[in-house]
Amino acid sequence: MTSPALTRTDLVLAMTGASGAPYAVGLLRALCQAGRTVHLTISPSGAQVLREELDIAVALGRGAFDPAAFGNLGGGRVVYHAHDDFSAGIASGSFLTAGMVVAPCSMSTLASIAHGITTNLITRAADVHLKERRRLILVPRETPLSLVHLENMLAATRAGAVVLPAMPGWYHRPRSLDDLVAFVVGRICDQLGLDNRLIDRWGAPAPPDVI
C-alpha cells in the first residue's frame, strides 16, 4: 500500500542564508512549472542572500510576501509561511506533503536539523519530515568543509535526510551559469521523483513531455 504522505503533491521549500540563491529560485520555478503547490518559507538571512545575489527583494512578514518577486512561476501555487510561524500546517506531521527541500542550506541550519534543534519553522518542518519518514533534501553550498560540517552531514544522513551538495557536474558541457544551476535543480527534482529534462542524462535521451 502506498504511504499517504507520498500521494500528496504538496512540497516544502525552505531558503536559508547560504550562498546559492540561484539554485533555490531555479527549483521554485521548476516545481511551479510542474504544477506543484509549494509551501515556501525563507529565513531572514535567506532573504538577504536573495537580495545580494539576485536583486530579489522579498518581504517576510505575514501577509506581506508577494510571489511576484520571483517572476513568472508558471502553473504552480506558492503558499508562503513566515519562518517564525509555528502555527503553519507544515509544522505538524498531520499535514501531509511529498517532501521538503532546504536550498540553499546553511551550515547553521544543517547543524540544527542534524541535532533536532527546532527554533524556527524551517528546522521544525525538517524535523517533521524526518520523524514522519518523508523525503528531506538538504542542499548545502559551502567550501571548504570542516570536520564539524562533515559530521553534521553524516548525522543528518543517518537520521534519514538526503545531503545533496550544490556541486554541478561538467560532463554535460555547460555553456552558461544557467546550465550549472539547471544541473543541480534537475538532480533535486530526481530525488523528489519529478520527471524533468533539465539535465542531459548519461547514456540516455531526455524523456518527452516533462519539465
pLDDT of residue 202: 73
Cβ-contact 136, 164 below 8 angstroms = no
pLDDT tens per residue across all 211 residues of the chain: 344 444 578 999 999 999 999 999 999 999 999 999 999 999 999 999 999 999 999 989 877 788 889 988 887 899 999 999 999 999 999 999 999 999 999 999 999 999 999 999 999 999 999 999 999 999 999 999 999 999 999 999 999 999 999 999 888 889 999 999 999 999 999 999 988 888 777 776 545 555 5
- pLDDT given for residue 172 in this prediction: 83
The pLDDT assigned to 203 comes to 73
Which residues, 6+ apart, have CB-to-CB distance to 158 below 8 Å? none
Orientation of helix 107-114 relative to helix 121-131, angle to 10° = 40
The sign of the dihedral angle between the CA atoms of 145, 148, 150, 155 is: negative
Burial 38-72 (b: 16+ CB within 10 A, else e): bbbbbbebbbebbeeeeebebebeeeebebeebee
Domain 8-191, architecture per CATH:
3-Layer(aba) Sandwich (3.40)
Question: Cα 138 to the chain's mean position, in Å?
Answer: 7
d(CA 33, CA 201): 20
pLDDT reported for residue 211: 54
Looking at residue 2, its pLDDT comes to 43
How many residues can be counted in the chain?
Answer: 211
Nearest-angstrom CA–CA distance, 52 and 165: 21
pLDDT for the residue numbered 5: 41
